[in-house]
Structure 1
Amino acid sequence: MLTGAVVLSLLSLAWLSQGFPTALNPLNPYPDKPRVTFKPDGSFTLSVFSDLHFGENPWDTWGPEQDRKSLVIMRDVLSREKPDYIVLNGDQITGENTFKENSTTLVNILTQPIRDAKIPFSSTYGNHDNQVNITHLAELEQELKIAPTSYTRRSPPGVGGPGGEANYWVPIYAKSTDAAPSLIFWFFDSRGGISTEGKALPDWVDESVAQWIESETAVMEKAWGPAENRAAMVFVHIPPHVMESLQKTLNSAKEPGLNADPLGVGSTQSSESTSGGQDLDLPFWNTVNSKIKNLLAVVSGHDHGNEWCKRDPAKDVVLCFDKHSGYGGYSKGGWGYGTRTFQFSLKTLKSSVTSWVRMEDGSKKDQVTLDKNYSR
């Protein structure tokens, strides 16, 4: 008979094989991957592709043509920005247009430019990634099969709720020999869409994630010291519900960026009929702001016509929209396509980050410095 200690060791090894931190290895979720580090000059560039919406109408000529144009944008951005890290911030695939037998092959196609460039990257997933013929988990598992530079992980057991399998964090180090990271990227699964059985899924980060954030940050502080020693950034596909109220007081002179998508039902977390009109993302939102320190920005996509950043005065945190990156999904004339880029510096890491939107034609616009003075 196996002793309790042996059983615990076997369970820990099993968790390690899936990339989960354990008591034996609490803060090294990537034992088989190289550490992600800043450049020797102390800089670090992150580019975010959001709402690519691959796979629309594969039976028509315009569907595959959209995907081809999206791949051109991705390759151009990688060439211009030369990022050290990539985030795919949800709605990679328009799942309602795919076929079940080949839906995950779209993951191979949309990640090809990143894999060719051998750049480390992470994914969040959106409401269109949960549909009858595709799920967040199916996309995640396919990504890990084909992409050695993917740092996407599955949520630990019991974390994330139905359809919310991608809650995790990635440590970014100043240099590979450091005992602790200088920056943490947090990725949260806002779910949405429908299940494979055709039932509507909640469109907010599950309450179980709040409890997980508390436990993870406690372990981090025990091992690495106070959370104030590190900076952080949060990525989630559907914006926190608070962004609806922030849009009402947006000042385009101080908070530049396209603001063409009115926020309402379906635009932010817990705004669908499944929420019953309640802010059900509050446990997540409150815990993010109380436990994650030096939070430079909360970054989301979902609403294709918005690309602004604004401070939430209640939590004193900046929230940013991405830029609609793919030709798939809804759009209007003049919105254009592109990416949001963030430029970090070790010299100012705990207090500021620079961000801009890079358009398809190569132009750079709406550059801002997200610091203590921004959006006040």
Structure 2
Amino acid sequence: MTASPSKLAILTFAYVSLCVQFIFTVGFNHQVHHSNFRPSPTIRLRATTQVRYIQIRPGAQFKIALFADLHFGEAASTEWGPLQDENSIKVMNTVLDDETPDFVIYLGDVITANNIPIANASLYWDQAISPTRNRGIPWASVFGNHDDAPFQWPMEWFSPPGIPEVHCPATSSAHSGEEECSFKGTGRLELIRNEIKHNVLSFSGNGPRDLWPSVSNYVLQISSSHDPRSPVAYLYFLDSGGGTYPEVISSAQVEWFQKKSQEINPNSSVPEVIFWHIPSKAYKKVAPKFLIHKPCVGSINKESVAVQEAETGIMKLLVKRPSVKAIFVGHNHGLDWCCPYKKLWLCFARHTGYGGYGNWSRGARILEITGQPFTFRSWIRMEDGDVHSEVVFS
């Protein structure tokens, strides 16, 4: 059933209490009173190529936690929904306390926008990043297929005439009139703009405007502890669409990656790691049939790979680059394996959030990068503290 936008009304909800944001100075280690806190790496902007970089702490490895498919805000009108968000917070708190990572990556479907009946979905986005932000850990995010999906009104919210009951804000507020209080949703651009504007520790990027229909396309540099100008690895983030956009990595994005990688890593001498949300079709080619056997590594293989709608050349380009070590995706909650594909590895994260489908145990994939000499390995940390599925990427 569909109602015209002018008749749709915002349902009033108890807004999520936003965690108090700490103001940190860029370029210094951040001090937070927490039992398992360790100083964050140095954060600066490399002006020559406009690639932001994070410097590895002297004598340490660079550890990254991947949080995938949190689905905050799902079924917010029920008792079940907010409880799932609380459970997701607990998972992230446990992983962050156990692993004390230097960096966190939110690997898509941070929120379930098609179930969020408020215009400002950033309230739920802020809640999702709060465990990382409150510890003074820098992070980056990439969009999934639910982060700005069109809103779908649950049938039980409709009155007999077929129109949801009107609950507009008071006329004294910033909103007035039925048109202003009807649900309009929160798009990718607004979500990423709010994250960057209000969080000095966010390393997320908008990406060039000509990469429509995608938004979160950017690259970060992991720098040597001895020289911030000396890269140890490059992390590339690509928006695989979904929601209000086609589920593809477009040819424009392929061209962007080719130009950017040639600009900052022309000889492929620096290792590169790639992150997006929806698996490419190559994942289906290497997927284990039943149980996970070597050379694949993982613990669950409970569903078929749900892939992007089309291929426009990104996999061909990545396979040709000897510097590309691995691709990490989310999307499939019942998969957590890594499998080799030609000269690189294709990996799933672990379903972190209690929102979304599936009852498999929650956890997070951990990545660890060491420079001089370069080593790169990964494992999965579970909510109950268990560690498994370690893989070393050659």
Common fold by TM > 0.5: yes
Aligned runs of 1:1-376 on 2, under 5 Å? 25-30=47-52, 35-132=53-150, 133-159=185-211, 161-162=212-213, 164-175=214-225, 177-193=227-243, 195=244, 201-221=245-265, 226-228=267-269, 230-248=270-288, 252-254=292-294, 255-263=296-304, 267-270=306-309, 280-291=310-321, 293-313=322-342, 316-332=343-359, 335-349=360-374, 352-371=375-394
Larger helix proportion of the pair: 1
Matches of 2:194 and 2:133 in 1, distance apart? 13
Partner of 1:21: none
Q: C-alpha separation between the residues in 1 aligned to 2:288 and 2:338?
A: 13
Give, as a single letter, the amino acid of the residue that structure 2 aligns with 1:47. A
Q: Aligned AA for 1:310? A: C
Kept in 2: contact 1:261–1:303 (CA 8 A): no
Instruction: Compute the displacement of 1:42 (Å).
Output: 4.1
Unaligned runs of 5+ in 1: 1-23, 196-200, 271-279, 372-376
CA RMSD, Structure 1 to Structure 2 (Å): 1.9
Deviation of 1:369 after TM superposition, in Å, equals: 1.5
Q: Deviations over 1:62-100 (max 9, x none)?
A: 111110111111111111101011100000001111024
For residue 312 of structure 1, what is the amino acid of its counterpart?
Answer: Y
Q: TM (normalized to structure 1)?
A: 0.79
Percent identical residues: 28
Asked which structure has the greater CA Rg, the reply is 2
User: Residue type matched to 1:268 in 2?
Assistant: V
Q: CA deviation at 1:208?
A: 0.1
- Partners of 2:139 and 2:107 in 1: how far apart? 11
- CA distance in 2 between partners of 1:311 and 1:251 (Å): 16
Alignment partners' CA distance in 2, 1:258 and 1:172: 29
> CA offset at residue 361 of structure 1?
0.6
Separation (CA, whole Å) in 1 of partners of 2:100 and 2:94: 10
Unmatched tracts of structure 2, length 5 or more: 1-45, 151-184
State the alpha-carbon separation in 2 of the partners of residues 111 and 104 from structure 1: 10
CA distance in 1, matches of 2:290, 2:329: 17
**Structure 1 residue 251: Cα displacement:** 6.3
Equivalent-residue separation in structure 2 for 1:151 and 1:339 (angstroms):
20
Secondary structure of 1:209's match? helix
How many angstroms does 1:347 deviate by?
A: 3.8
How many residue pairs end up in the alignment? Answer: 314
